[in-house]
Chains A and B, each alone.
Chain A
Amino acid sequence: MSSTTQPIARGSHFNRILVIAGHAFTQLVRMKVFYFLAVFAVIAIASNFFDLPQHEGPESIGMNVLRSIKSWSLGTMTLFSVVLSIVATALLLPKDVEDRTLYTILAKPVPRIDYLAGKLLGVLILVFVSLAMMDVLMTVVLQIRSSMILTQQVAMAQSQGWPQDAIESLRAETAQHGPNWALQGAVFAVFLRASIMASLALLISTFSTSTLFTTIISFLIYFIGHFQADARDAYLQAGQAGEGVFARMAALVFSLVLPDFQNFNVIDAVIEGQAMPLMVLVKLSLIGLYYAVFFTIASWFVFAEKEF
């Protein structure tokens, strides 16, 4: 039938995962998800004009504007990346089952783990590309605005006869609020948090019966993740309840299974102009990797036994 009679070599796991990831990415792109970038552009530009409560001197006004741009931009990135990672992941699996396209894929020599990993990777590529584009936009806006502010502030300081070291100090402080590596680290942290949520949504969608259920439960866990560390500490310090070995083990298991998103509060520190040490970024990367792998393997255990 075919022009060639050579047997077809089965591709590697990696190749199949890439094929499925590439397809999932294309599928989501063709759902026109990148339209939200226009919304982000509007927010990034509008954040230049938001008035924040002002208690400091006139030299701080510029820094507050830069802080506002970072705050609004990173906040919007968080919102978009978390919503995108949860909704896109929650949508892909049930849609394939409903349309029976899953049958045609699993009827090929495709192990189920390849299918799951491919879908997850496709969503992560989409989130990464989206964040990268938003990051570029934010950096450009921040760069233009910080050089404008720097020029204005230096002129103001010189007209008021500030000493040179004070001017240099003001210049350094303003630069801290401009685009820098800490800010890129914060954007990467936003990506890591979205990756955890995508892999969690993948796990839920393997046993969930609907996209809505997966989405609601994922958001619920996302919110729990923001105060689970406080709840755990309060429990362990609440008299006898937290003294037993069982209670401590339960708290440990709880933290291993449910992500603690307070680790990502460093993003807020970057908005305030603080640096992000490399070790913090490494720690966040390891946390992200741990949860992504843990949830994906758990998804595989459920999905491997699933019948269609």
Chain B
Amino acid sequence: MAEPTPAVEIKGLVKDFKTSFRRQMLRAVDDVSIRIMPGEVYGLIGPNGSGKSTTMKALLGLVAPTSGNCAIFGKDSLKVDSRNDVGFLPENPYFYKHLSGAETLRFYGKLCGLKGKRLDDRVSELLALVDLENARDRRLGGYSKGMLQRIGLAQAMIQEPRLVILDEPTAGVDPVGSRQIRDLILKLRERGITVFLCSHLLEQVQEVCDHVGIIFRGKMVKEGRLDDLIAIEDQTEIIIKDASPELISQITALVGNSATASLVRTGKPRTTLERLFLRETTQGKDS
């Protein structure tokens, strides 16, 4: 059976920008290649200014590559047709403050050719998906940062794209809002939608992505399946619930008797500060 067309194929992407005085060229992206297959959630991580956003913009045709090429489901990114199958949420978008949530989605839907009942149904469906039904007629000027990100995600989904590109989707969002967006990304994955996101929040990328690429100073320095990249091959983790001190002593002694194995660490696993925060704030909301 033939291999399916990659959702994203970036080959040898190089992007140079002119500096202010046009004397020197600044290389923002240096020979980056990425291949994302349909249904994958790919996280591009790297520090600020490493070339993540430029790579995404090149994929969307917002900047033209100096060399190399980008394609979405086999269509050249510089052609308008390639955008039929993609939704994009930029970093810190503001959208039109004078429009309500429903009007915003209607505007983007009409741009994509949706109309009539199909558009109305799609708007209602997406508002329900991003949990903004109660704010559908409120102007975006009154939306919180988290709500703006969620309506942004909904507009990215309006024409039912097979690929969604998210640039720092949780930037500036509080932990609760951040969790909601992360859950939405997981929902997209369940529905077989390819997600290409970039972030410098590593823990978040780890939770949702199955493939990652690390970009640094414009170059791709590491890429592959997340599980393969982060697994420590020569160590094994066993988590035991309600273990007595005697049992721990026995296991420790057993390991000590081994000729090849050695005990690295014992102790209680810790929850994350984020989980603690979410638990406490959710309880506060319920009471």
Chain A, residue nearest B63 (CB)? A307
Total contacting residues, chain B, CB less than 8 A: 44
In the assembled complex, the CB of B63 is this many whole angstroms from the nearest CB of chain A, namely: 4
Is A4 within 8 A of B118, CB to CB?
A: yes
Chain B, residue nearest A29 (CB)? B98
Total contacting residues, chain A, CB less than 8 A: 32
- Which residues of B lie under 8 Å from residue A16 when comparing CB positions? 111
Tell which of B86-94, B241-249, B257-265 binds the partner.
B86-94
- Which residues of B lie under 8 Å from residue A20 when comparing CB positions? 111
Within 8 A of A (CB), among B224-275: none
Tell which of A76-84, A105-113, A242-250 binds the partner.
A105-113
- Which residues of A lie under 8 Å from residue B112 when comparing CB positions? 8, 10-11, 108-109
B83 near A: Cβ within 8 Å?
Answer: yes
Within 8 A of B (CB), among A288-308: 305, 307-308
Chain A, residue nearest B192 (CB)? A1
With A3-B125, A16-B111: A107-B95 Cβ-Cβ less than 8 Å: no
Is A99 within 8 A of B62, CB to CB?
A: no
In the assembled complex, the CB of A21 is this many whole angstroms from the nearest CB of chain B, namely: 12
Chain B, residue nearest A4 (CB)? B118
A19 near B: Cβ within 8 Å?
Answer: yes
Is A111 within 8 A of B80, CB to CB?
A: yes
Is A2 within 8 A of B125, CB to CB?
A: yes
In the assembled complex, the CB of B148 is this many whole angstroms from the nearest CB of chain A, namely: 11
B48-70 vs A, Cβ < 8 Å mask (1 yes, 0 no):
00000000010011111000000
Residue from B63, B118, B155 in contact with A308 in the complex, judged by beta carbons closer than 8 Å: B63
A8 to B111 Cα, complex, angstroms: 11
Is B84 within 8 A of A101, CB to CB?
A: no
Is A110 within 8 A of B111, CB to CB?
A: yes
Within 8 A of A (CB), among B69-128: 80-81, 83-84, 86-96, 98-99, 107-108, 110-115, 118, 121-122, 125
B223 near A: Cβ within 8 Å?
Answer: no
A79-113 vs B, Cβ < 8 Å mask (1 yes, 0 no):
00000000000000000000111011111111100
- Which residues of B lie under 8 Å from residue A111 when comparing CB positions? 80
Q: Is the interface of A mostly helix, strand, loop or mixed?
A: loop
With A16-B111, A101-B96: A10-B62 Cβ-Cβ less than 8 Å: no
Residue from B64, B83, B95, B114 in contact with A8 in the complex, judged by beta carbons closer than 8 Å: B114
With A10-B113, A109-B84, A307-B62: A103-B93 Cβ-Cβ less than 8 Å: yes
- Residue among A3, A11, A109, A110 with the highest chain B CB neighbour number at 10 A: A109
A308 to B62 Cα, complex, angstroms: 6
Is A27 within 8 A of B98, CB to CB?
A: yes
A100 to B95 Cα, complex, angstroms: 7
A262 near B: Cβ within 8 Å?
Answer: no
A9 to B114 Cα, complex, angstroms: 8
A23 near B: Cβ within 8 Å?
Answer: yes
A251 to B90 Cα, complex, angstroms: 47
A26 near B: Cβ within 8 Å?
Answer: yes
Chain A, residue nearest B187 (CB)? A1
B191 near A: Cβ within 8 Å?
Answer: yes
With A9-B113, A30-B98: A109-B121 Cβ-Cβ less than 8 Å: no
Is B57 within 8 A of A101, CB to CB?
A: no
A23 to B122 Cα, complex, angstroms: 20
A19 to B106 Cα, complex, angstroms: 10
Is A107 within 8 A of B98, CB to CB?
A: no
B133 near A: Cβ within 8 Å?
Answer: no
A-B pairs, top 7 by smallest CB distance, nearest first, are: A107-B88, A11-B113, A99-B94, A30-B98, A307-B63, A19-B110, A109-B83
A-B contact pairs, 28 of them (CB 8 A): A1-B157, A1-B191, A8-B84, A8-B112, A8-B114, A11-B115, A15-B110, A16-B111, A20-B111, A26-B99, A30-B98, A99-B94, A103-B88, A103-B93, A104-B89, A104-B156, A105-B111, A106-B62, A107-B60, A107-B86, A107-B88, A107-B165, A108-B112, A108-B159, A111-B80, A305-B64, A307-B57, A308-B62
